[in-house]
Amino acid sequence: MGKERNFRPDPNYNPYRVKQTPTAPKTSVIDFNTQRICPACGLAIKIAHNFCKRCGVDLSAIEPIGNDEISKQLAITAITDSDPEVRKEAVDTLGDFGDEKVLGVLTYVLLNDPDENVRKEAADELGDLHHPYSLDIFTKALKDESPLVRKEAIEGLKKIKKKIKPKKLDEGKPESREDKEDELKPEETTEERNTDSL
Ligand SMILES: [Zn+2]
């Protein structure tokens, strides 16, 4: 003889709702202790390699991220955490470090993360680092399925082009090691400044 119970359905309870468990990126097999990621093409290569075996860029000047424990742990989080918000935060923080060693993992995230907001963040940070190696990656990201990412890729290209003079883009390539004496042209404009103003 208890009270009548109210059987109105709880509006917050929906038995048919599919539980949304965020999925971790599939490709989480990189071991930063033995591997590094090429910042120019996103390929995982052996840490000891000074040149990327796929795109051929010189990596000798860029330290592998695995050499630094904090950056390494953040890089692992950035590519393996199941929560896109967490991955995005890790990407953001890696970018803030402002070190060239984070280029590889950011490149990897931009090319591989399943979440557009995480990819966009990686593009944003890569743009801020404005390394010439990122030009090809941004060109590739112009074809990303997400307009958010495509837009950020354009921004990234803009940032790099703004920061780097065209001649510097050739740095590291053998052809650029020739003397550049033709740059030492005499100032031609000095005479023009002598016009007297009355
Ligand atoms: Zn490469």
> What's the CA-to-centroid distance between 58 and ligand 1, angstroms?
9
- 12 CA to centre of ligand 1 in angstroms: 50
Indicate whether 9 belongs to any domain.
no
Based on the structure, what is the number of domains in the chain?
1
What is the Å distance from ligand 1's center to 59 Cα?
9
Contacts of 22 (CB under 8 A, 6+ apart): 82, 83, 84
DSSP code for 186: P
Cα of 151 vs centre of ligand 1, distance in Å, is 24
- Residue of 64, 62, 94 whose CA lies nearest to 171: 62
Return the CATH number at 159: 1.25.10.10
Q: Ligand 1 centroid vs 45 CA: distance in angstroms? A: 8
What is the domain range of residue 115? 69-170
Q: How far is the CA of 182 from the centre of ligand 1 (A)?
A: 32
Q: Is residue 88 a part of any domain in this protein?
A: yes
Which pTM was predicted? 0.71
- Nearest-5° angle of CA 138, CA 59, CA 115? 35
84 domain-assigned: yes
For residues 44 and 30, the answer to whether their CB atoms sit within 8 Å is yes
**42 C-alpha vs ligand 1 centroid, how far in Å?**
6
Ligand 1 centroid – CA 24 distance (Å): 24
50 located within any domain: no
Distances from the Cα of 151 to the Cαs of 78, 120, 127, 142, in angstroms? 22, 9, 12, 8
Question: How confident is the prediction along the chain (198 residues), in pLDDT tens digits per residue?
Answer: 445 556 666 666 666 666 566 665 555 579 999 999 999 999 999 999 999 999 999 999 999 999 899 999 999 999 999 999 999 999 999 999 999 999 999 999 999 999 999 999 999 999 999 999 999 999 999 999 999 999 999 999 999 998 876 555 555 555 544 444 444 444 444 444 444 444
